[in-house]
Amino acid sequence: MSDNRRHRRLIRARPRALRVLLAVVLLVLVVGGIVYLADGAISRATGPSSAGRPGPARCPLTDEPAPGGKVPDRPALAIKIGNEPDGARPQSGLNEADIVYDTPAEGFIMRYVAVYQCQEATSVGPVRSVRWVDWHILQAFGKPILTFAGGINPDVDTVESLSWLKPADLLGNAYDAGTRISSRVPPDNLYTSTSALWALYPSDRTPPPAVFRYGGPLPSSATPAAALAINFSAGTDVLWKWDASARDWMHTYSGETDVDALTGKPVTTTNIVVQIVHYSYGPYPESPGSTGDVESQTVGSGRGYVLRGGKSIAVTWHRATLDSPTTFTDSAGKAVTLSPGRTWVELVLDTIASSPGALTITR
């Protein structure tokens, strides 16, 4: 075959090859577009999980599957709950919370901030007064509702002035959302419900962002843990015990199992975060002759522990700003995550953590 004839055949073949190539490219683009649109439809229907992966919708504050496959269109709801040993216990509604913060108040008496979003509770309480630490914890939750029963004027005035926080004062603007029960003595007899509180702000339909990271294996630094004991103060010696059969941590006080009065079931959690924090006293005493409010510093970094799955990991906690989530790293600087489920955060003052025997983890 002459070079001219071979050249003419090559010229005729090129358009055919080009047409085939264009057809293949077009087919890839069409199939890719269909997959992309399908994935988008699935994502819009179910929503991403709090870990950012596609799939069924997951509760932002627990990373558990959302009830009915859809995250409730409502904000985080924080309720301040009393914990005095001589009147507040047993509390109602703790097992229905997504996250519970155990926070020091004046005299090192502990009080809870229980945060709800995916679950509801028909009775929560006893509801007590607001403290400085409350709004310093909650800014990471977007635009939450904070429920409390009064407080000193500077604290109440501050809460009511914050543009990102929606106050629900059961002794003030949310008076009708609270109920006094006859089986308790004031001030530990004021109760409420999550439905009554969410109804105060019906136009707010935005769920909160995730405030913790979930999933992933335990790091190699994890060690077995059978119990965590924290002696906060007289009458508040907390002991968490690992229940291997239930795969939960069980809450006890002075050797007695703590019970959620709403359901009669033991108070449990999937994760425990021990966050050792520095503190100072605020300028305003909560009662005559007392110290100022305990102002726990939850921004910055410090020592702590993450307990999950019957294991304990020594961590450093990190929080850059008030509206940032708190993250954890192990001794190698690797991220430490939580298991999907309820989380209790124990804010432990550095002076308590450094006292011999006040903070112990046993195998």
Contact by Cβ (8 Å): 312, 299: no
CA distance 274 to 270: 13
Does position 196 have pLDDT exceeding 50, yes or no?
yes
Alpha carbon separation from 216 to 32, 50, 51, 308, 334 (Å, rounded): 30, 13, 10, 12, 12
Contact by Cβ (8 Å): 225, 180: no
Across 7-32, average pLDDT? 40
Which range is least confidently modeled, 93-97, 152-156, 284-288, 321-325?
284-288
CA distance 306 to 330: 10
Residue 37: predicted pLDDT: 31
3-state secondary structure (DSSP) of residue 271:
strand
Q: Which helix (H) or strand (E) holds 29?
A: helix 3-46
Sign of CA pseudo-dihedral 196, 197, 203, 207:
negative
Does position 134 have pLDDT exceeding 50, yes or no?
yes
Domain ranges of the chain: 78-363
Q: What is the mean pLDDT of the chain?
A: 88
User: What one-character-per-residue DSSP string does 57-95 give?
Assistant: -B-TTT-SBPGGGS--SS--EEEEE---TTTTPSPBSGG
Residue 75: predicted pLDDT: 98
78-363 CATH:
3.50.90.10
The number of beta carbons lying within 10 Å of the beta carbon of residue 251 is 23
Q: What is the pLDDT of residues 217-272, one digit of tens each?
A: 999 999 999 999 999 988 899 999 999 999 999 999 988 999 999 999 999 999 99
